[in-house]
Structure 1
Amino acid sequence: MKKNVRDFTKGNPVKELLLFSWPIALTLILQNLYNLADVMIIGRFVGDTAMGAVGSAGAVSGVLLMVVSGMTTGVSVVLSQHLGAKDYERVKKCLTSSIYIIVFVAVILTITGIAASGWILEMMHVEGEVLTMAKDYLTIIFAGTIATAFYNAGNSVSRAMGDSVTPMIVLIVTAVINITLNILFVAQFHMGTRGVAYATVIATIISAMVCWVILWHKFTIIHPDRKNLSPDGKAVRQIIKIGVPATLQSSTMTIGALVLQTFVNSFTTAALPVMAAYAAATKIEQMVSYPPGGVSDGMQVFAGQNVGAKKFDRVGKGLSACMKIMLLYSIFAVLVLVFGGGALMGLFTSTETTVNVGQQYLTATAAGIFFCGVDYTLRYTLTGVGDVAASASLSFFELFLRIGAAYVLAYYTPLGYVGIFWATPIAWTVTTVLGVIRYKSGKWKLKSLTGGQEVHRDIEGE
């Protein structure tokens, strides 16, 4: 494989995955802290109204991130499979084609976002001054969509090449720039929600440029020839084939969170602050559960390269390595959530009832934390090998099961709001079993984008 490109088709799977995954895990944690900083600064220097506006706007701009993330996942999977097949000509064609797709999607999202953001906010019952602030924020954010798209694409291409360190460094640069500009625009220039939006867009533009400059200098393999400057029909179809289901898959997390939040709100009273406890506990859950996400992301690239090279046995070895990593991490996570949950909740509130409710949520999460890691790793593996329809189906099944279980346990059993907390680990466990069944069937071997018909006989003989 070309110089500087990490070759996952050889070497020790555990070592390769750990070396590749730890920067991704750190990047996910930094991303969470980065998002918290925006809300904290606007709340500290402007007030609760502005903070509510940014929070409401974030739910709308999240749609942007889902679409962009889905399409860049398509780019990553296609590139990693052709890299594994050592088909560097296809790599160039896919990268050039992806740029056309990214620009097209960004333009559509920009126009749609600016035109429809006000209507969407009103549908969410956002009114008055909050509505004005949120619309100002979203207009600026959607105007910077192309920067967001190229930033995410650059990160996806880096990881497809086996480089997980560059996205981490770029995110650190982004966070520093964004926080500095936030303080400057909000605290010094008193620009309110517009200041937060401008800071985000400017930081994203700079980071996108830095990311692509590094990519261009580090990986000469992606430099297009004259014959690769126009979009390639096959590459476009492959990226869309992976990207569209990946977009739908990522949307299930947002939908599930919104529905469960609605259930939680219905149990909240002055004497029972379930909403506040849920908000704090989910932030703790995200911080604790994010590190295994680095392994899941890493496995997607690992699986993509190896299925492209037709080394199906190494996909299994990589998955086995992930299970061991997940098990070891889960032991640590359970201890933190069960025995340290109360102390962590105390960082958010001093109200005893809120701490106790939050501890109940964290205990339920701890019960399913291993299955959470395995569930997502299986889905990312299936996406990496090209079996994205199965991965998306598992995501939608988990969504319906989580919502259904939460509704039944909360409203038709004595558990009440605690039933909402236990619905998610139940869904993780069941979906894990289904994911294992799909993987064991071997049908994913036929989904390779570099050709898979030759494995029909192998599957029939298994």
Structure 2
Amino acid sequence: MNNNNQNVLDDDRIGRLLLKLSLPAFVGMFVITLYNVVDTIFIGRYVGPLGIAGLSIVFPVQMLSMGIGQMTGMGGASVISRLIGAGNIPKAERALGNAITSTIVLSAALMIIGLSDADFWLRLMGASETILPYARDYMTIILIGMFFQTFAMALNGLIRAEGNARVPMTGMIIGAVVNVILDAIFIIPLAMGIKGAALATVIAQFISVAYFLRYYFYEKGFLKIYSRNLVPELGILREILAIGIASFARTVAGSITAIFVNRVLVAYGGDFAVSAFGIVNRIMMFALMPSIVIGLGLQPIIGFNYGAKRYDKAMKAIKMAIVAATACCVIVFAVLYLAPEPIIGIFTTDNGLIALGVYAMKRVFLFLYLIGFIMVGSIIFQSTGKATQSFATAVARPFLFLLPVIFILPRFLQLDGVWLAFPISDVLTGILTLILLVPQIRELRRKDIFTGGEAIIGVH
């Protein structure tokens, strides 16, 4: 064990610490986003709009894979960082082993289910007969290599829980560089089309996983992987999944929403509308990135200080994160509205698709500046072990608000109803997050005043 990582989190300069953890997380998240965006750019320019539509149909499956990795990674990270803060290193290493085991089992289950009848699942997700061949070619390869995407996502969060943001950042950069190079080789000179994009992604994710495992086995990591800790322990596993289920629910909800949106788009706008949504969805990944990475940087800070009963530092970090995330969203909003055509034009040269993409983007991102507060709020609940509140904020936007609005609004506004459903759900989710977050802040203040209050570790 190496105490350097603990010293990183035990820092009174909260603003500097948040920046130190968030910047590498930004690079890592930027790279994760590139996996999908680079594929879309190459496919859009060398295969065409139907290729983009195929990627859009398969995207919910990739979201499920990422959701599993986020569930075990974020859930494990919350438990690990709080245990490190409380000085309980043996249980932190057992939590690491349990997070890894659950990742392996769940990703294997998803792969088997997906490959059992690919065409059935693709049609269920909204693939028309013209989109189906493209979606099938991409999804089959992605499912075969599904484990590497899920495991890379989980290890990214688990390593960051120790306060080490450098390794996750470096591992994802390596994978992204490989992905871009292989995309260019497989799609352009080898003319492998959408299959080449999928193969490039799988190989790149494998390389990222290999790099992450090297950290645990060959570098001086704070925690180590031992075979004895891979055996599931019900108490630890329950805590990991209870906290991580919010991340999974958020991603699953996004996946289900994407499926439903694709089906509605086919009905009201055809394959072209699905292609436009595919592009807007990729841009959305970049737009949300600042809020997500600030949350990732915030998580170990809150977890460590909550476990160490330093509630004043936890509150200071929360305030800084909310302000920073909101400011970033305002900046991104301004950029998207000032230069929409060049941004959409990165993905396609089709003028009709560019026009529809710009029209959709301006409506979908109407209240983007609320997302920072919503994202950070959910991370706060996760980091302090508030599974119920975290789950509620994760599923509210897609299930409670977005899906009902998408079901109703297009009946009156046609295709516009689909695009406008997104900002409406953002406003409603922001209100719910505020209602749930106020009692949490009050609780932290009480614990800060009455220092005898017990920290919520949650693993016994």
- Which category describes the TM-score, using the shorter chain as reference length? 0.7 to 0.9
CA separation in 2, counterparts of 1:95 and 1:261? 37
Shift of 1:225: 6.0
Structure 2 CA distance for partners of 1:110 and 1:264, relative to 1, 3 Å? closer
Equivalent pair of 1:26/1:291 in contact (CA under 8 Å):
no
Tell me the equivalent position of 1:319.
318
Equivalent pair of 2:25/2:293 in contact (CA under 8 Å):
yes
- The 5 Å alignment of 1:228-239 reads 228=229, 230-239=231-240
User: Are 1:398 and 2:410 counterparts?
Assistant: no
Q: What amino acid does structure 2 have at the position aligned with 1:95?
A: L
Tell me the equivalent position of 2:309.
310
Q: What amino acid does structure 1 have at the position aligned with 2:335?
A: V
Equivalent pair of 1:406/1:423 in contact (CA under 8 Å):
no
Structure 2 CA distance for partners of 1:109 and 1:187, relative to 1, 3 Å? same
Moved more, 412-421 or 131-140: 412-421
CA separation in 1, counterparts of 2:124 and 2:434? 38
CA separation in 1, counterparts of 2:27 and 2:334? 20
Equivalent pair of 1:263/1:420 in contact (CA under 8 Å):
no
Q: How many residues align?
A: 450
CA separation in 1, counterparts of 2:346 and 2:46? 21
- The 5 Å alignment of 1:87-126 reads 87-124=88-125, 126=127
Tell me the equivalent position of 1:377.
376
Structure 2 CA distance for partners of 1:213 and 1:323, relative to 1, 3 Å? same
Could you state the TM-score of these two structures normalised by the residue count of structure 1?
0.82
Tell me the equivalent position of 1:450.
none
Tell me the equivalent position of 1:451.
none
Q: Tell me the SS of whatever aligns to 1:222.
A: coil
Tell me the equivalent position of 1:424.
425
Q: Tell me the SS of whatever aligns to 1:455.
A: coil
User: Are 1:213 and 2:211 counterparts?
Assistant: no
Alignment RMSD (CA, Å): 3.8
Q: Tell me the SS of whatever aligns to 1:310.
A: coil
CA separation in 1, counterparts of 2:310 and 2:352? 54
Equivalent pair of 1:333/1:366 in contact (CA under 8 Å):
no
Shift of 1:342: 5.7
Shift of 1:295: 0.4
Tell me the alpha carbon deviations over residues 9-35 of structure 1, each in whole angstroms, 9 at most, x when there is no partner: 432211111111122223323333331
Q: What amino acid does structure 1 have at the position aligned with 2:379?
A: Y
Tell me the alpha carbon deviations over residues 336-361 of structure 1, each in whole angstroms, 9 at most, x when there is no partner: 24444466456668999987876666
Equivalent pair of 2:168/2:212 in contact (CA under 8 Å):
yes
Shift of 1:386: 1.3
Structure 2 CA distance for partners of 1:327 and 1:83, relative to 1, 3 Å? same
In our comparison, the structure showing a higher alpha carbon Rg is: 1
Shift of 1:282: 4.7
Shift of 1:379: 0.3
Tell me the equivalent position of 1:449.
none
Structure 2 CA distance for partners of 1:412 and 1:192, relative to 1, 3 Å? closer
Shift of 1:101: 2.0
CA separation in 2, counterparts of 1:297 and 1:225? 26
User: Are 1:18 and 2:16 counterparts?
Assistant: no
Structure 2 CA distance for partners of 1:11 and 1:406, relative to 1, 3 Å? same
- The 5 Å alignment of 1:157-168 reads 157-168=158-169
CA separation in 2, counterparts of 1:44 and 1:419? 28
Q: What amino acid does structure 2 have at the position aligned with 1:455?
A: G
What percentage of aligned pairs have identical amino acids?
A: 21
Could you state the TM-score of these two structures normalised by the residue count of structure 2?
0.83
Q: Tell me the SS of whatever aligns to 1:223.
A: coil
- The 5 Å alignment of 1:190-201 reads 190-201=191-202
Equivalent pair of 1:4/1:218 in contact (CA under 8 Å):
no
Give 5+ residue unaligned stretches, structure 2.
none
Shift of 1:167: 1.9
Moved more, 43-52 or 310-319: 43-52
Equivalent pair of 1:402/1:427 in contact (CA under 8 Å):
no
